[in-house]
Structure 1
Amino acid sequence: MKLIATLAISALAATTAFADGHQDRTGWPESFTVATASQGGTYFAYGSGWANLVAEELGLTGGGEVTGGPGQNMALVHTGDAQFGMTTMGPAAEAIAGLSPIAPGLAMTNACAMFPMYQTPFSVTALSSSGITSIAEIPAGSRIGFGPAGSTSDTYFPRMMETLGVEFDRRNGSWSDLGGQLQDGLIDVIAFAAGVPVPAVSQLEVQTDVNIIEFTQAEQATIMGAFPVAPFDIAASTYSTLEADARSVSMWNFAIANCDLPDSMVNAVVDIIMSDNERMMNIHKAARSTLPENWTKNAGVIAWHPGAAQWFIDNAGADIPADQIHSK
């Protein structure tokens, strides 16, 4: 069953050209969904927030849908079961190449890039009472929660842990469920791959003492050499638990659209999201990176939706090669 976040059915005030009907809406659907991820994670909070914002501004019915995360989102948007979604570059590249574990052999080329979201840092959290303060201190056989099955975290973090020599018992579940299991002693560690602050970690901080564990310089270098990630520091201001920036690695996230959606609709959506970063920051702090200049972070991984590409060309001076724009 689809769980749809709070719906914003119509605009209360026609503040833009989109809301007052001055734009060609030929072929627009009357409603839309944004494929997000599990509750308790950044994808759900961020995705449901911009879905509601777009629904209000455009006078449509829309909301966020709980999913298994980036890999499943590529499939849902590719097939048109969801109009919009969010994905991470690693799973997106695998899906486009037909290597997704969701549907092996299916090249998901009908999911198009729409706008840059933010970086997903990979971080580890344990209860302070566990005594675990570093990756090396994770005992062999520890029960580690890697998020929903098929998510970015579940796809990459187990392999990262194996690369670092950690022996573990793999567990899956929504971030909020895993947070509860950690607090109850049912698992020992959570390996998060989610935009920060992760709601589940923020909730844990309120209820108990936790250790947010960073990578050592050597561990960071090892991971960067083996996986499509970049260096990243989780700012000390992100969590009350942190006393200094925490060394991490990250992977970029992009919003995606079904490639068959009308150019005018996708252009309108991108304009709403990219034109007012303060409004996006009010939805989630991870949106500090949802900026026009970050269109470059796609780097040819996902073909651009023509409506989105035109917005970045017109408003961000983007030089997007024609062969990186989806041709209908």
Structure 2
Amino acid sequence: MTDQSAFVRATEAVSYLRSSLPEGLQKPQVAIVCGSGLGGLADTIHPESRTEYDYTAIPHFPRSTVAGHAGKLVFGLLGQKIPAVLMVGRAHYYEGHSIDQVAFPIRVFKQLGVDTVVLTNAAGGLNSDYEVGDLHLFLAGLAGTHPLRGPNEDDFGVRFPPLSDAYDLELRRHVHQTWKKMSSASGNRKLHEGVYAYVGGPTYETRAESRMLRMMGADVVGMSTVPEIVTARHCGLRVLAFSLVTNKAVLAPVPRGDEESFQGKSAGELNAVLEEGMAGHEEVLEAGRAAALDMQNLVAQTLLDIFSHA
């Protein structure tokens, strides 16, 4: 890590981007972070306005190494009207990045002049009412290593920022209004509000951990987003966040080895019992592909509704 402050590093990244960005995209109004399997959100950008940068080319920008994360910053017009920037893939703490690096893109967005940040992710469902493919608008999170730890970056925000207002109420109201208008809302997919629990990863949660999180009030669980939200609120940005439920966490206790019904079963039959409901990254990506269109339509239409009336 460099000894430079996050403010200086973000300023250098922005200077690099603005050196080649078209004038109409120099100060995007909104930033969208695309989670696992949700890179299709970049398709909402008008193709003639699209300008891309690989993360490796941007000074100080963290690089994503996760399958399904393209690792590029896309600038362009949303609905041919709204100047926007999209992160197609994000950096995670479990990849070996510091928590400061994970949060760095949000500070770049702030320096670009962004006002609103929309974050998306793939998450495991803890609440039994949430089905795979449901869209989830979350209200709170738990974090371990804190992105604001260390000397405060006074150029971005205050030392002790409140988070009771982390998720913008006006933005959430617009989401529900837009969802009601969308034809897909009449189908089986549902939109929930609830609690997202942030865990470090990269392992998926054990049954005991899933039960603990559920008892603590969490509805979904994932390995991203909360560090970005904390940093965005520290910077004074408006925040909206969506989770796509791509698997249902297993809450039932691990079967006991002395259970009578297991006696005489083969190793393969016993493994099948343990594998029931087990999450895998390919499953997450596939579920994301199946519901990505609804997600990207909801995000794009919500932003168009918000900024067209701004």
Q: Common fold, TM-score beyond 0.5?
A: no
Normalising by structure 1, report the TM-score: 0.26
Normalising by structure 2, report the TM-score: 0.27
